[in-house]
Structure 1
């Protein structure tokens, strides 16, 4: 029978708890209990536990044993619940307060405990342990937290393997070699005297990739980079292609949130100027694709042209009664040209950049006195608005490379010729007919020597005229949709690129030139 504890002296609660703790620790260290064994708890008084024995189970923690022993001791001593909680907390802090020391059972009186090292005991956050070293159980479907610094390091390391096809030796991407690669076909003609412009008679290849109408195509003006072809589309993108040999798209530029209406190369061939329906004009680096300058015109941009003497200045026109001149170095508007028109269709600088011509949609009932307007660039004054007197709008303009003249594509299904010197008279005895415009923005362009004038057509054909006698030399059936632009190559003879309303680009070439191109490609592959 167990004896009761007699409280002879009035001890404090803390002292009694310490004594209970010592007795409990001693009982755990012995490892086993006998039936007649007595435990001293208070003031040399003895308490005999219930007649049962047990052995430490390695699968159970010390806290569980402590709880069982405390319950039996408390039940025999009739302690209140507050003393029980204090006893358990004090026991835990005493045995497991030091996280650095290994938790083990000491040797006692010649007997070795059956459990030398305790299993892992979960700790509360803030008990002095490092949270990163805690044992965490990840539930299925739950993603563990990854520090931001580690996420950034991982993302930087995995950028390269995502696009292995675009990588080249030397840690340079394929885009960085757009301006360093030179076409072997172009090299053959750079070493010789430029030949007379020829007429393409056969289609070489088709370049598909745009998802909307292609408004314009233009070859790079730099001779050794003239294999690069620029295209601008209504699908909000503009691209650079290898148009001389492979026909591969070298880079896609997505700088605009609206349709790209016009695009052109800078004279150095390293930058691109584009105008879009998102009201912006952007200068983009060809290799990196980064925006160098982005300017808001506050109207939809229909045309954007560079000043011939100062490429840092360019003009923008569109759905507005004004034409704005911007300086790309300061990103400021330097001049404004305002007239009583609703829309500017095209802008053409005359030789030297002193004057420029704009084409508008303003047509009166009896005459089109404001269809073509000449402006003085410096003074922003109108030079003349009595240039074209017929009631047709002119969607595009082109300057002759050698002579003092320019042409205007008209919705009267012909091309008119004008003098580029004041008073800008029209040549009524010469016009280029045979193609259709029908309201499309069909463009026209001269060859490098000025002998051939090319034009697209609403019927999908590309037309080539003799400039001096206005005779049609060739009609190339290139597209099933309206052909909007025909661009003749500046170096390769009898080579042209065309684009249509369906988003397709095609390369046209002369038969003899095509055989030479095939031989060049074969030799380059063998090397």
Structure 2
């Protein structure tokens, strides 16, 4: 026992050789895995990224200690940081610039006629040559055309192909200047603003959209709970516009506030057309009453400020009226009837139907065919299902002439704001044309 104690309890040979001093032990390599109790968190956390809908990164990618695959690392490395502050709204939508919207690309004779309307006003023999043009660009039916009053060489068209086309009609170069792709469904109507290069359009995506034509940018969207079929600017205030839709609701919007300022609600069918009277105190609307069999509501005259109907027994025949237009100076308005005629009404109470005069000879045949007055009110023009443009004398109701423009139905017609014998039209087969009457 004593021998064992001396052997194991004494100093080692190394201690004896070094004078009893303990040698420092060699430094061993650290273990391959760190113990969890010695794990220290990183003081600087991983950078945070805002959600980007174009990537499929999960929120767990920023958790410390989580395994991140090479694919995730590459995606995180290429993801752009979003700076703090307000985010960019989902719109404005932009549209490609295809051509020039300036009048500098027009032929000299047409440019002179546009700048001096007395050269062609009322004198057909002095009309410049080359005014008749066929404009190809829409792939489906075209519902509406409208001339710009401030830039009389520009024409807008709205189609079932979800586009609004802006045409520099007599340009020597590209005639299709803009294709506005802001709508997500078919476009029903389009109107030029009286203020600058803006158009207002509406359609089956339940919106009205204000678009800057010069920049090709959508500036405002006005959403509704109904398909919007018609829009009209207020005649005295370009900051207000009227919209009518599939649920029978009429609304006046303030563009500056982006809100409805007047609403006209009645148990109506879809609004087919609506028009401000010349004094801007009333609205005349037509609606589809075929399902209710109550024809007395097909035309309603509204008081704008009081938001009440002044008369709903204007028209009692069992036909729908796809178009309404007010005379520019006389107290009367006209309505296109599916009975293949244009009816005449008074804009004064009790807003009676003229039972002795009408414009007839063209055919409607169920198409949404529109009619219009000339600027001086001397002529009435209308499209027709037989592909002709019909021109009537406003006072005598006699047919002056008819012009063959399409093989299919001619849907909309509008006379030029400067040259009164020039008319733009569109067809059910997707064509747009400009002709001389």
TM-score (norm 1): 0.62
Q: 1:403, CA displacement in angstroms?
A: 1.9
Aligned pairs for 1:150-189 (under 5 A) are 178=101, 181=104, 183=106, 184=108, 185-189=110-114
Q: Kindly indicate whether the alpha-carbon contact (under 8 Å) linking 2:253 and 2:259 is maintained by their aligned counterparts in 1.
A: yes
The residue correspondences of 1:454-493 to structure 2 (distance < 5 A) are 454-493=381-420
Q: Per the alignment, in what secondary structure is the counterpart of residue 295 of structure 2?
A: coil
Alignment deviations for residues 258-282 of structure 1 (CA, whole Å, 9 cap, x no partner): 1110110111242111111111111
The aligned residue for residue 298 of structure 1 is 225
CA deviations on 1:466-522 (whole Å, 9 max, x unpaired) are: 212111122212111211011211223422221111111122136xxxxxxxxxxxx
Q: Match for residue 249 of structure 2?
A: 322
Aligned length: 362
Secondary structure, aligned partner of 2:214: coil
Deviations 1:42-79 (A, max 9, x none): xxxxxxxxxxxxxxxxxxxxxxxxxxxxxxxxxxxxxx
Aligned equivalent of 1:217: 145
Partner of 2:425: 498
Change (3 A) 1:304 1:493: closer
Distance in 2, matches of 1:388 and 1:149, equals 63
Mapped contact 2:230–2:274 kept (Cα < 8 A): yes
Cα pair distance change 1:467/1:198, threshold 3 Å: farther
Distance 2:293 2:213 in 1: 47
Q: Which moved more, 1:194-203 or 1:252-261?
A: 194-203
Mapping of residues 512-527 of structure 1, within 5 Å: none
Contact 1:308 1:353 in 2 (8 A): yes
| 2:145–2:424 CA contact under 8 A, matched in 1 | yes
CA distance, structure 1, for counterparts of residue 210 and residue 239 of structure 2? 10
Rounded to whole Å, the distance in 1 between the matches of 2:329 and 2:344 is 14
TM-score, reference length from structure 2: 0.74
Deviations 1:60-109 (A, max 9, x none): xxxxxxxxxxxxxxxxxxxxxx9xx99xxxxxxxxxxxxxxxxxxxxxxx
* Alpha-carbon distance in structure 2 between the residues aligned to 1:309 and 1:393: 29
Do residues 244 (structure 1) and 170 (structure 2) align?
yes
CA contact (8 A) 2:275 2:324 kept: yes
Q: Name the structure 2 match of 1:340.
A: 267
Matched, 1:399 2:338: no
Residue 458 of structure 1 and its aligned partner are, at CA, apart by 1.1
- CA deviation after TM superposition for structure 1 residue 327, in Å: 0.8
Higher helix proportion: 1
Matches within 5 A, 1:40-51: none
Query: Are 2:129 and 1:195 aligned?
Result: no
Kept in 2: contact 1:364–1:391 (CA 8 A): no
**Aligned partner (choices 131, 134, 141) of residue 206 of structure 1:** 134
Q: Which of 232, 247, 259 is the matching residue for 2:158?
A: 232
Q: CA RMSD in A?
A: 3.4
Residue in 1 that maps onto 2:192: 265
Contact 1:363–1:370 (CA under 8 A) maintained in structure 2:
no
Please name the residue that 1:522 is paired with. none
Using a 3 Å threshold, how does the CA distance of structure 1 residues 298 and 145 change in structure 2: closer, same or farther? closer
Q: Deviations over 1:268-310 (max 9, x none)?
A: 2421111111111111111112222211111000111111122
Q: CA 1:474–1:326 in 2, change beyond 3 Å: closer, same or farther? A: same
After TM superposition, give the deviation of residue 147 of structure 1 in Å.
5.9
More displaced stretch, 438-447 vs 487-496: 487-496
Report the Cα offset of residue 420 of structure 1.
Answer: 1.9
Q: Please give the per-residue CA displacement for 1:384-442, whole angstroms capped at 9, x wherever unaligned.
A: 11211221110001122232221100000001111222222222222111111111110
Question: 1:24-423 alignment to 2 at 5 Å?
Answer: 178=101, 181=104, 183=106, 184=108, 185-193=110-118, 195-196=121-122, 204-222=132-150, 225-246=151-172, 248-362=175-289, 368-423=295-350
